Structure 1
Amino acid sequence: MTTFIAVLYIISFALFIYGLMGLTGPRTAVRGNWIAAVGMAIAVIATLLTPGMSNWLLIALGVAIGVVVGVPSARKVKMTAMPQMVALFNGVGGGAVALIAWVEFRTTEGYAHEPAYVAIASLFAAIVGSVSFWGSNIAFGKLQELISGRPITLGKLQQPVNALVLIAAIVLAVVIASGGDNELLMIGLLVAAGVLGVVVVLPIGGADMPVVISLLNALTGLSAAAMGLALDNTALIVAGMIVGASGSILTNLMAKAMNRSIPAIVAGGFGGGTAVASGGSGEVRPVRSTSASDTAIQMAYANKVVVVPGYGMAVAQAQHVVREMAKLLEAKGITVAYAIHPVAGRMPGHMNVLLAEADVPYEQLKEMDEINSEFAQTDVALVIGANDVTNPAAETDPGSPIYGMPILKVNHSRSVIVLKRGMSSGFAGIDNELFYDAKTSMLFGDAKSSVGEIVEELKAL
């Protein structure tokens, strides 16, 4: 039986890795997800076959509750709320690890007679898992707008408080590892780690939230791997390390895409404000408005149109009508492409998923590095709800908070049309200089309605 279980684990790990490879491209992502899911099912079966496994009724009850809660939630969630669900589900994983560490502490009477590595790995998992759980819940609250997206800080006391809470958690862990078996010590450790998760994420603004979700996901993976080491569970070790490694790589890539260091993001204080349409001296600057009719005419006589989707498109659920508009343009012999910024929307790949849902051909989805060189040959750049990722201030204004952040260079196009409800700022909380460019026209209104009007005008041409 031991050999059979080991073989099952090896098969599941191979499927994890092969499935993860599939997630590197949109064409193979769904298949990769299913392959990894099969690997996890095999790993669960192998774990249940482990000698000494008992409490089958509780295990079945837990699985049933998870299925009843998880499946309907995942099926019904809107794409605009997917980042919140990712944050919430990730937090549940970290919380589960923290609870397992607590149970391990109780069943071993404070790790008495356990090897030192078991106590260290379990305590590490308890701290990191609790940080991930509470931090993810704060991220969920900010994304769901239950908590203000603005940075909520303690001012100059913020970093000292962070350090104090971290030190408290570490001291409690050392005391426990040294032989302390009072359960209040473990409860205190979990509470201190939970407070750390809260006070670290609260000061982080909405602009950095996608990176925070990725970072917390990596922490959950590391905590699971550590718990697997303590429990001698191979599946937890391998799966946790895969999640931790891939989450860390993604966090680093996203931070680079925003020209932000990970320590600067954790330090907080960026994004979530509200800007007004005014210049540095406070004067109100004019913008040029346009209509659906003029927009349709302009695109109908173009050779190339680039659609730049953002969170506004996701909120309006405009991806299907955008696809309909693109088909009409393509029928007129016009080249259509979609410019995708790495941090457009509220999570990695948000725009890719939305557009794939509308059956947009994968070859038309162009990453930032690929499409930026094509804007100079673009007749019309149609920006739908994107804000910070198109702001020229990132290249021209050294005093801007986003200065140095790689952007989609839509301002290099011959003409820019921006679809927005109003002049509100993006997650970074700053004015977008693109709106005042002489080549830019603003089409105000709900993105889905506006594109729908453009579609009707194109049909009439």
Structure 2
Amino acid sequence: MAWPQTLIDACYFIAALLFILGLKRMSSPRTARGGIVWAGFGMLLAVVATLLLPDMQNRGLIVAAVLIGVSAAWWSGRRVAMTAMPQMVALYNGMGGGAAAAIGASELVSHAQDLAVRVVAPNTFPLMPESWSPLHGATAVAPLSPVALALGVLGALIGSVSFSGSLIAFAKLQGWLDRRFVFPGQQIVNLLVLAGAVVIGVMLATGHLTIALVCAFFVLALLFGLLMTLPIGGADMPVVISLYNAFTGLAVAFEGYVLQNEAMIIAGMVVGAAGTLLTQLMAKAMNRSIGNVLFGSFGAVVGGEAQAISGSQKPIEAADAAVMMAYAERVVIVPGYGMAVAQAQHKVWEFAQLLISRGVKVKFAIHPVAGRMPGHMNVLLAEAGVPYDLIVDMEDINPEFPVTDVALVIGANDVVNPVAKTDPASPIYGMPILDVADAKQVIVVKRGKGTGFAGIENALFYADNARMLYGDGQAAAGQLVAELKTLDG
């Protein structure tokens, strides 16, 4: 029995409300978990409503694909480590862009074949499966309006770039591509590839639909995504992830218009808007303009010789570090990706609780791009049970460092590097940082003497007021806990 279109539209409307309300609840750590559940129910309702469309075909294949996808996502989501969450986000985001591009490809190929048959035999319709449409099954293809055709091409372009670019981002975060790939004239090559994709896209959007042009269009679009992402430095990955998230949302919205599916349009617009806003915030945190994010060579060295760093790294024992913080009045803990790798967040919070029980005022300082994706450190600290009122953003905590007795840096590197303010030749020059160097004393927990994700030396580690506590983050935090308990005992 076919469901009334009014009821299906009502389901889409409720799903849209759940998307928006879920996104609103994600703006606060206290309600974020519920927001994800709300949005998830909205997507489930939208999928069910789509399956109930009167002219929907191939329901069995669609349900089978959904079950396979849900099972794979459930399995991988439960197994993935928190340290691997950024690359999983990049991969899943790429899958969204690829799905939007695949819808565009299906529509363009279907209409190209339909047009070819009509030219050769104008009184016949193409037979299945040559004229298969993903929403309406194997029937003669209804001509797309000029607007729908243009948006379909644009969505396919954006989705393809997001797909291939996100795969490169995943490979970089996974450690499979551990360096930037730069060659002379790279920006010109990128521009030519993009221009070629745009020119062919315009031809497709104006009705010049041939299989050869469609194939060339997608080859160039996918190639541009690769070329745009390969030169990006690791320190800029949070910006890249949020940018491609916005791309995926836009692509889904455009392809939703082609399919006349309200749920896709609304969901894509919400994701696109949220991703665009997040990209702006991340660009601001990196002190980059949106134009530089889109067209610049991320993480590129500005030029000139880097400033020499004087002094030496001065080690400290866990016992001395624990005493220093036990008798401090104010301690600020600065977590970074190294804490995530060591899975030390629980031990760090245990240490902080011991300090608080002694009357020490403890806060956690979060840089907007600490870790490998936006909000990475917030998620880790929330997982450990750190109260939200102890977690302070960069703009609010920086004025407090001069009156902070001890700043404990665990696993953070580039986001506390003073050369971002002092060395124009540094690739991170101009990036706002946590002013940890202004604290009276700094203790840095670090596995070794290696550089951060940006691949540069950190002047903070050589400062007169800095001491290095070498070792694995979790082991070092455990030693601090043990030493503090000894003092209390």
TM-score normalised to structure 1 length: 0.95
Identify the residue that residue 352 of structure 2 maps to in structure 1.
Answer: 326
8 Å contact from structure 2 (residues 306, 426) kept in 1: no
Shift of 1:425: 1.8
Identify the residue that residue 410 of structure 1 maps to in structure 2: 436
Q: Does 1:184 align with 2:184?
A: no
SS at match of 1:180: coil
Check if 1:219 corresponds to 2:219. Answer: no
RMSD: 1.8
Structure 2 residue 135 is matched with structure 1 residue 132: no
Given that 2:310 and 2:462 are in contact with CA atoms closer than 8 Å, whether structure 1 keeps it comes out as no
Q: Could you tell me which amino acid in structure 2 is paired with residue 172 of structure 1? A: I
Contact 1:392 1:411 in 2 (8 A): yes
2:18 paired residue among 12, 15, 27: 15
The one-letter code sitting in structure 2 at the alignment partner of 1:376 is P
In the alignment, the residues of structure 2 paired with residue 429 and residue 25 of structure 1 have an alpha-carbon distance, to the nearest angstrom, of 33
For the Cα contact (< 8 Å) 2:242–2:279, is it kept in 1?
Answer: yes
Taking structure 1 as reference, are residues 111 and 366 closer, same or farther at Cα in structure 2, changes over 3 Å only?
Answer: farther
Which segment is superposed worse, 405-414 or 169-178?
Answer: 169-178
Distance 1:173 1:280 in 2: 47
Matching of residue 200 in structure 1 with residue 203 in structure 2: no
Structure 2 match to 1:85: 88
1:363 equivalent to 2:393? Answer no
Shift of 1:272: 9.1
Q: Which residue of 1 aligns with 2:144?
A: 114
How far is the alpha carbon of 1:267 from its aligned partner? 4.2
How far apart are residue 429 of structure 1 and its match? Answer: 2.1
Contact 1:308 1:382 in 2 (8 A): yes
Q: 1:193 to 1:238 in 2, by over 3 A?
A: same
Deviates more, 1:388-397 or 1:88-97: 388-397
User: Residue 456 of structure 1: CA displacement?
Assistant: 0.7
Residues 216-272 of structure 1, C-alpha deviations (whole Å, 9 max, x = no match): 110010011110111111111111011111101100100110112233334454449
Question: What is the aligned partner in structure 2 of residue 256 from structure 1?
Answer: 284
Q: Distance in 1 between matches of 2:288 and 2:64?
A: 44
Listed as ranges, the matches of 1:281-300 within 5 Å are 281=308, 285-300=311-326
1:143 equivalent to 2:173? Answer yes
Question: Which residue of structure 2 lines up, in the alignment, with residue 379 of structure 1?
Answer: 405
Distance 1:434 1:306 in 2: 16
More displaced, 394-403 or 219-228?
A: 394-403
Contact in 2 for aligned 1:320/1:358 (Cα 8 Å): yes
**Which of 424, 429, 447 pairs up with 1:421?**
447
User: For 1:213 and 1:354, how far apart are their aligned partners in 2?
Assistant: 18
- Looking at structure 2, the residues matched to 242 and 251 of structure 1 have their Cα atoms a distance apart, in angstroms, of 14
The alignment partner of 2:231 has SS state of coil
CA-to-aligned-CA distance 1:321-371 (integer Å, 9 cap, x gap): 101111111111111110011000000110000011111111110111111
Distance 1:268 1:431 in 2: 23
Counterpart-to-counterpart distance in 2, 1:121 and 1:272: 34
Residues 20, 32 of structure 1: 8 Å contact kept: yes
- Amino acid across the alignment from 1:115: S
Once residues 359 and 419 of structure 2 are traced to their aligned partners in structure 1, the CA distance between those partners, rounded to angstroms, is 34
AA aligned to 2:414 is D
Q: CA deviation at 1:284?
A: 6.9
Q: Does 1:153 align with 2:182?
A: yes
TM-score, with structure 2 as normaliser: 0.90
Identical counterparts, % of pairs: 53
For residues 103 and 29 of structure 1, the distance between their equivalents in structure 2, rounded to whole angstroms, comes to: 36
- More divergent stretch after superposition (239-248 vs 100-109): 100-109
| Distance change >3 Å, CA 119–CA 394, structure 1 → 2 | same
Contact preservation (8 Å) 2:146, 2:206: no
What is the CA distance between 1:111 and its match in structure 2? 7.5
In structure 1, C-alpha distance between the alignment counterparts of 2:307 and 2:265, rounded to whole Å:
53
Gaps of 5+ in 2: 116-142
Relative to structure 1, the CA distance from residue 12 to residue 279 in structure 2 (aligned partners, 3 Å threshold; closer, same or farther) is closer
* CA displacement 1:27-67 (0-9 Å, x = unmatched): 01001111111111111122112110121210111011101
**Which amino acid in 2 is paired with 1:236?**
M
Task: Determine helix, strand or coil for the equivalent of 1:38.
Answer: helix
Q: Does 1:58 align with 2:61?
A: yes
